[in-house]
Amino acid sequence: MAVEDDLLAKNPFSFELHTVVVNNSTTRDAITRKQEKAFLEFVKNDSHFSKYYDGFFILFNTGLRISEFCGLTMSDIDFQKKCIHVTGQLVRYSNMITTFEPPKTSAGVRDVPMSPEVMEAFRNIMDNRKHLKVEPIIDGKVGFLYLDKNDQPMVAMHWQHYFNHVVK
């Protein structure tokens, strides 16, 4: 309009955006079923990493985010309804403060269905979980599934560390 009304000689925005903005984002490739199977097989048979097999199995077979998985407590696993009640995520900040936070959107609060194999993995985790005299409590949540060497709930950083070591 400004060009048509002789207010501007030329439209300063008459160019294609892709000629100015460079897309330098990288794409991520999902692992194949064959790679997943090989990864889980290695973890299952490794003397050190085998204790994390059920956790990795659940992560691969539910679509849970790692921080959501870390935020699960025993009361979130509903064996009768065959579902996982996801209500938030466990987050540890750089100052080493760990909090339980709601998901970024309301859609993050959901029930995730469990296959019989996922149910078995959760049972294994609960059966092998260390019994503590005093359970860690984070923002009113208690009974976290995986605990670290200091008997505190494991966070995403732990799982990322284990995953990276297995892949090496």
Indicate which CATH number applies to the domain containing 69. 1.10.443.10
Residue-number span of the structural domain to which 53 is assigned = 37-128+136-167
CA distance from start to end of the chain: 60
Domain-embedded: residue 107: yes
Domain-embedded: residue 91: yes
pLDDT at 117 (0 to 100): 98
pLDDT at 69 (0 to 100): 97
Domain-embedded: residue 75: yes
Residue in 25, 75, 53, 63 with CA at minimum distance from that of residue 163: 53
Domain-embedded: residue 28: no
Q: How many domains does the chain have?
A: 1
The predicted-structure confidence for 6-42, as pLDDT tens digits, reads as follows 777 777 777 776 666 777 778 888 889 999 999 999 9
Backbone angles phi, psi at 149, to 5 degrees: -65, -20
pLDDT at 1 (0 to 100): 66
Helix, strand or coil, per DSSP, at residue 119: helix
| DSSP conformation letters of 32-60 | PHHHHHHHHHHHHH-TTGGGGHHHHHHHH
> Tokens in use for 23?
């897309």
Domain-embedded: residue 24: no
Could you say which DSSP state residue 145 is in? S
Domain-embedded: residue 12: no
